[in-house]
Amino acid sequence: MDRAKARELATALVDQMTLEEMAEQLRYDAPAIERLGVNEYNWWSEGLHGVARAGCATVFPQAIGMAASFDDELIKEEADVISTEARAKYNAYTAEGDRDIYKGLTLWSPNINIFRDPRWGRGHETLGEDPYLTSRLGVAFVKGLQGDGEVRKIGACAKHFAVHSGPEALRHYFDAKSDMKDMWETYLPAFETLVLEGDVESVMGAYNRTNGEPCCANTYLMEDVLRKEWEFEGHFVSDCWAVKDFHENHKVTATSEESAALALKKGCDLNCGCTYRSILAAYDQGLIDKEDIRKAAINLFTTRYLLGEFEENEYDKIPYEVVECKEHLDIARKAAEKSVVMLKNDGVLPLKLANVNTIGVIGPNADSRKALMGNYHGTASRYTTVLEGIQDFVGDDARVLYSLGSHLFLDKEEPLAKEDDRIAEAVIVAKHSGVVVLCLGLDETLEGEEGDTGNSYASGDKNDLMLPKCQQRLLDAVLAVGKPVVVCMMAGSAIDMSVAQDKADAILHCWYPGAQGGKTVADILFGKVSPSGKLPLTFYKNDDLNNMPGFEDYAMKGRTYRYFEGKPLYPFGYGLTYADVKLEAASCDASYTKLAEKIDAGLDAADSAKEKYEVMMESEATVTVKLSNSSSIDAEEVIQVYAKVDSTNETTNGKLAAYKRVAIKAGETKEVAIPVANKAWLVVDESGKRVTGDAKATIIVSLNGVNKCEVNNNGANMITMEI
């Protein structure tokens, strides 16, 4: 069903409703209208990395782990699984008359905010710090969710529109100030892609204000950009209880009626929260008219028709048995394998059972289910922790010793004990082991959403980039034993691993790898799988925070790989494999002058934002890369292409322009052609306009990012050329 037909049907249905019935449909928990055959519908469902909060589901790696794969097709495949399971659960639940929260067909995912500051607690819900990577992975996720059938398989949601990435503690009254350059270079591109290319069904506003106006009633964002420039035809939803913040915290209105009226008139169709219960009172006070209410209701019912709610459709027969089926679990395992990033290896990995009789597994995340999950997760029927994964892998071929080592963040495990009451055991285990796997990090109780999990840090954010002090002491104690140590870091954000980088033998960053993540980690530790993930964000040293803008400052200068002028601990795009893969040569088939002329002509001829976007996403240039694997190990690598246009408007270090994940067998040499979108050759000026640069541009082809770092100067795996 196309949108025009769905809107026609929605209009006919809404026009049969009373004003009171229309108003009630603008709440996230919309009631039934029995006389019109309208069932109750709860719009609030989650699907960030699996169907969430609705019982059993396949649990994929947290979103930041998905991003580490740099694999569009895999992301789309994961999203297709999520939408299939969401449909299956919806079919089964509605057959039982259960239409409760988290059981609908509108998944409020993906989170495409930019992870601009490493302290932000919700960063692990995002697809990283880069606008291009976020755009490409985000649109793949949306297409996987929504499908290509006669009706939408699922209604996806791009959130949180638009300038939003902490601090969590301030979000209900904070004003995020952004100039037009940062807006169009960093904060808007992913939303633009999901609207213009992904045809995303809904957009969710953020809690905070942007440049003075609340994001859920923002003239520039909602009216000028989203509806007028991008011609968005889906529905707009508030973040939960964000409209209530208008009068309680932002103080831009005085009453709930004024808040409801302001949001509705600016284009917020659906209220997650309670404030739209005041819509009829706002109508009585003359703050809104019937057409404001009717317009929003039509937008919402257009979505419901597009989802096939009022007629039989191809997805009605998806059986419940697909939930957590073997095929879906296999995809989750593949996703976890491609997400793990190896940051260091002095030769200890992969572990060889023939050389190791006893393995010590230590740390608060070694046997933790929470460390597998991230937040906004479903419930798996089976979990495999890292400890269990190692035990299962080695079987009777080696002894596995275990110690908790420390609490996740408290100074002791037992209330009546002295500080560090588990460190002695950890030292004993290390002394009796041939190799130690030390599992450190965080979980959703330490980084996440404000008020969501009762975390012990700054409302979900991190105060710094250090591990909790109890884990720092554990790391020092285990390293002091002198045995080979592999650090498995399980966290959704940048952690300062300087001590481990200096003294440990290997480091794997495992993110929150999903329900069966422990099996994947074991497979990588023992060489069944070669690690292939790349960092979708910069890993800084803690002292680097001193040279960054404040957390509350939304200016991008000094932030992320594009603007950071120091040497990070590990750069964006960094990640090692067990194979010896090298870039042998690279070339480009275009000159910048001719590219710029063609792009300028195309943009001048375009009549709409969509046409301009299509010009930008066309490819007039191809980079051809020769890659070799001189080792005896099959591997996958991610070729990264960065562009730096000769212009005062260009970012400090250039920007990601294209990437391609490539499988390369042992001893193989291959050539790979990578198209580069025209957008790579544009820069954003101070007014927010995209323009071409001067007479030349530099292309950087790399396997490990563009920022020189403390652990690798990237010289062997970087080729620079001028066009």
State the pLDDT confidence band at 707, using cuts at 50, 70 and 90: confident
Domains of the chain with CATH codes:
3-321 (3.20.20.300), 334-563 (3.40.50.1700), 581-722 (2.60.40.10)
Query: What is the structure's pLDDT at 618?
Result: 97
The residues, ordered by sequence, that sit 6+ positions from 569 with a Cβ below 8 Å of its Cβ are 496, 497, 498, 501, 539, 540, 541, 709, 710, 711
235-237 and 341-345 as β-strands: parallel, antiparallel, unpaired?
A: unpaired
Q: What is the pLDDT of residues 319-330, one digit of tens each?
A: 999 999 999 999
Q: What is the pLDDT of residues 167-188, one digit of tens each?
A: 999 999 999 999 999 999 999 9
619-629 and 581-588 as β-strands: parallel, antiparallel, unpaired?
A: antiparallel
Task: Say if residues 574 and 661 touch (Cβ distance below 8 Å).
Answer: no
Evaluate if residue 485 carries a pLDDT over 80: yes
What is the spatial distance between Cα 141 and Cα 697, in angstroms, rounded to a whole number?
31
548-571: average pLDDT: 96
628-654: average pLDDT: 97
Query: What is the structure's pLDDT at 204?
Result: 98
State the pLDDT confidence band at 210, using cuts at 50, 70 and 90: very high
Evaluate if residue 111 carries a pLDDT over 90: yes
Classify the C-alpha dihedral 459-460-461-467 as positive or negative: positive
Say how many C-beta atoms besides its own lie within 10 A of residue 546's C-beta: 7
Q: What is the pLDDT of residues 257-315, one digit of tens each?
A: 999 999 999 999 999 999 999 999 999 999 999 999 999 999 999 999 999 999 999 99
Evaluate if residue 712 carries a pLDDT over 80: no
Give the residue numbers marked as catalytic.
239
Fill in the DSSP letter of residue 379. B
What is the spatial distance between Cα 339 and Cα 367, in angstroms, rounded to a whole number?
20
Classify the C-alpha dihedral 310-314-318-323 as positive or negative: negative
378-405: average pLDDT: 98
State the pLDDT confidence band at 400, using cuts at 50, 70 and 90: very high
Evaluate if residue 454 carries a pLDDT over 80: no
Q: What is the token pair recorded at 184?
A: 């169009």
222-227: average pLDDT: 98
What is the spatial distance between Cα 158 and Cα 135, in angstroms, rounded to a whole number?
11
690-692 and 682-684 as β-strands: parallel, antiparallel, unpaired?
A: antiparallel
Evaluate if residue 140 carries a pLDDT over 70: yes
State the pLDDT confidence band at 710, using cuts at 50, 70 and 90: confident
Evaluate if residue 457 carries a pLDDT over 60: no
State the pLDDT confidence band at 450, using cuts at 50, 70 and 90: confident
Evaluate if residue 484 carries a pLDDT over 90: yes
Q: What is the pLDDT of residues 435-444, one digit of tens each?
A: 999 999 999 9
The residues, ordered by sequence, that sit 6+ positions from 292 with a Cβ below 8 Å of its Cβ are 261, 264, 265
Query: What is the structure's pLDDT at 570?
Result: 96
Among the listed residues 149, 63, 168, 175, the one whose alpha carbon sits nearest the alpha carbon of residue 110: 63
Q: Return the HEC string of 510-553.
A: CCCCCCCHHHHHHHHHCCCCCCCCCCCCCECCHHHHHHCCCCCC
Lowest mean pLDDT among 419-433, 586-600, 705-719: 705-719
State the pLDDT confidence band at 406, using cuts at 50, 70 and 90: very high
Residue 720: in which H helix or E strand, if any? strand 718-722
Task: Say if residues 449 and 121 touch (Cβ distance below 8 Å).
Answer: yes
State the pLDDT confidence band at 419, using cuts at 50, 70 and 90: very high
What is the spatial distance between Cα 349 and Cα 530, in angstroms, rounded to a whole number?
10
Q: What is the token pair recorded at 605?
A: 């001829």
Strands (E), 577-687: 581-588, 619-629, 635-645, 655-664, 669-677, 682-684
Evaluate if residue 34 carries a pLDDT over 80: yes
Among the listed residues 417, 351, 339, the one whose alpha carbon sits nearest the alpha carbon of residue 63: 339
371-390: average pLDDT: 97
673-698: average pLDDT: 97
Residue 310's alpha-carbon distances to 10, 36, 148, 294, 656, in angstroms, are: 10, 11, 19, 19, 44
Query: What is the structure's pLDDT at 24?
Result: 98
Buried b (16+ CB within 10 A) or exposed e, 265-295: bbbbbbbbbbbbebbbebbeeebbeeebbbb
Identity (one letter) of the amino acid at 9?
Answer: L
State the pLDDT confidence band at 62, using cuts at 50, 70 and 90: very high
Checking phi first, is residue 425 left (phi over 0); if not, alpha (psi -120 to 50) or beta?
Answer: alpha
Q: Is 648 exposed, middle or buried (0-12, 13-18, 19+ CB in 10 A)?
A: exposed
Question: In the block, which residue shows the tokens 């710094």?
Answer: 464
Average pLDDT across the chain, whole number: 96
Q: Is 481 exposed, middle or buried (0-12, 13-18, 19+ CB in 10 A)?
A: middle
Query: What is the structure's pLDDT at 708?
Result: 80
Task: Say if residues 67 and 127 touch (Cβ distance below 8 Å).
Answer: yes
Query: What is the structure's pLDDT at 716?
Result: 59
619-629 and 669-677 as β-strands: parallel, antiparallel, unpaired?
A: antiparallel
Stated pTM of the model: 0.97
Question: In the block, which residue shows the tokens 């995209």?
Answer: 690
62-89: average pLDDT: 98
State the pLDDT confidence band at 709, using cuts at 50, 70 and 90: confident
What is the spatial distance between Cα 673 and Cα 658, in angstroms, rounded to a whole number?
11
Evaluate if residue 425 carries a pLDDT over 70: yes
Query: What is the structure's pLDDT at 711?
Result: 73
What is the spatial distance between Cα 360 and Cα 486, in angstroms, rounded to a whole number?
10
The residues, ordered by sequence, that sit 6+ positions from 222 with a Cβ below 8 Å of its Cβ are 161, 205, 216, 236, 266, 267, 268
CA 133 to chain centre: 10
Question: In the block, which residue shows the tokens 């989170």?
Answer: 111
What is the spatial distance between Cα 562 and Cα 18, in angstroms, rounded to a whole number?
53
Q: What is the pLDDT of residues 40-60, one digit of tens each?
A: 999 999 999 999 999 999 999
Task: Say if residues 370 and 553 touch (Cβ distance below 8 Å).
Answer: no
Query: What is the structure's pLDDT at 452?
Result: 66
Q: What is the pLDDT of residues 611-638, one digit of tens each?
A: 999 999 999 999 999 999 999 999 999 9
Checking phi first, is residue 296 left (phi over 0); if not, alpha (psi -120 to 50) or beta?
Answer: alpha
Evaluate if residue 714 carries a pLDDT over 70: no
What is the spatial distance between Cα 73 and Cα 112, in angstroms, rounded to a whole number?
18
